[in-house]
Structure 1
Amino acid sequence: MVAFLEKPIKSDGFAEIIDFLKASSVHYALTINPIIYTYCIEQFWTTAKVQTVNGVRQLQAIVDKKRVIVTESSIRKDHHLDDAEGTDCLPTATIFEELARIGYEKPSQKLTFYKAFFSPQWKYFIHTITQCLSAKSTAWNEFSCSMASLIICLATNQKFNLSKYIFDVMVKHLDGGVKFVIIHIFSKFFINQQLGDMSTHKKIFVNPFHTKKVLLI
């Protein structure tokens, strides 16, 4: 989904967390909303393959008889992410410590976390991040240690390598055929960036925005 980051009129206490998201390093990635032409997506994933060129892994595909190449560095550039030196995942002990510091109310040794055990403002923050940037295959009320690391890094002004995360998710999709919402948004963005006008295609996927209802969780 695409993040809806307008301040609510009737829900108090969310203005600060929305301002924080707008100023965050992932704001652009949260809010990009490319036109998703269904057939282009199908072409991309039908022809996509992983190649290593000069020691760098690439996703290569053919769309409308033109080559599309996706790398970790191209993701970083296209999504305005300065995260090359960022962590992939924080140490387990750090995750537990930092989540407790921002108010997580369910002490546990498991590496699955639940947004229900945070304040409403943190619920909104986590909900936005997981809906827009995570490769979810489980319930939306829970999130993994990778997402916990991203959330903590954003909250503490540390760098998380979101570019690598997105690239690895795309490769995982190709290897295992697992479909995630994140795949279609980001793969279409790369297609648009490299091929330009796709308006000859007619079948469009309408990408949903978060609505103000999110603010009331």
Structure 2
Amino acid sequence: MVKGCMLWTGYNGPLNNANYLKSCFSKPYKFFIHLIVHALSHRKGGYDVMRDYQMNMVTAPVLNKKYNFSKIVFHYMKDNITLGSKTWIYPRFIQMILDHAYPDIEKDEENDLLVITWIRKR
């Protein structure tokens, strides 16, 4: 199903590799794949190369199939904790969990490292 979806989305690279290149997809799907890889990937770099599980994450929405995204996120969060990594993965996801669990927590927006500001162009 994944390989068929890759062909349907215009992939023009080798289909039997363990890694798939984002640059080999047609232009409309490059952006979608970029979003999936950056938002739901546990990687700290190398965002042009996708692994097979990431291609599953792309295939499910393209083909309108159910997929358990939270299972993948929690699996890699667990691996990150148990391996003793000093780098947090999914920091925004963790912040959302904390905001939901503790809605009244006091926030220091002047010293917060993850402040998102919107710049409006005129």
Is this a same-fold pair by TM over 0.5? Answer: yes
Q: Mark the CA change 1:142 to 1:195 in structure 2 (over 3 Å): closer, same or farther.
A: same
Alignment of 1:50-129 (within 5 A): 94-129=1-36
Percent identity, please: 20
- Higher normalized strand content (fraction of residues): 1
> Which of 57, 76, 91 pairs up with 1:169?
76
- 1:188 and 2:95 aligned: yes
Q: CA RMSD in A?
A: 2.0
How far off its partner does 1:163 sit? 1.2
Match of 1:205 in 2: 113
Paired residues, what number? 115
Larger RCO (alpha carbons 8 Å, 6+ apart): 1
C-alpha distance in structure 2 between counterparts of 1:198 and 1:191, whole Å: 9
* Uncovered stretches (5+) of structure 2, i.e. residues with no partner: 118-122
Equivalent in 150, 156, 171 of residue 63 of structure 2: 156
Which stretches of structure 1, 4 residues or more, deviate above 3 A after TM superposition? Answer: none
Give the aligned partner of residue 71 of structure 1: none
Q: Supply the distance in 1 between the matched residues of 2:113 and 2:46 (Cα, whole angstroms).
A: 23
1:145 maps to 2:52: yes
Unpaired stretches in structure 1, ≥5 consecutive residues: 1-93, 210-217
- Kindly provide the amino acid, as one letter, of the partner of residue 132 in structure 1: A
Cα 1:176/1:207, change in 2 over 3 Å: farther
* TM-score, length-scaled by structure 1: 0.48
